[in-house]
Amino acid sequence: MPELPEVETIRRIVERELVGLSLAGVDLRLAKLLRDSPLPDLRLLIGREIESAERRAKVLITHWSGDLSVLTHFKLAGQLAVVRPDGRRIVAGHPVPDPTGPLPHKSTHLMLTFDDETIAYYSDLRQFGWWRLMPSADVEGALASFAFGPEGTGGEAFDRERLADRLGRRRIAVKPALLDQRVVAGLGNIYVDEALHRARIHPGRPANSLSLVEIAALHEAIRWALERGIEQGGADIRRGKAYPRDGFPAIHARKGEPCMRCGTSIVKIPLGGRGTYYCPRCQPDPEA
Write down how long the chain is: 288
Residues involved in catalysis: 2-3, 58, 274
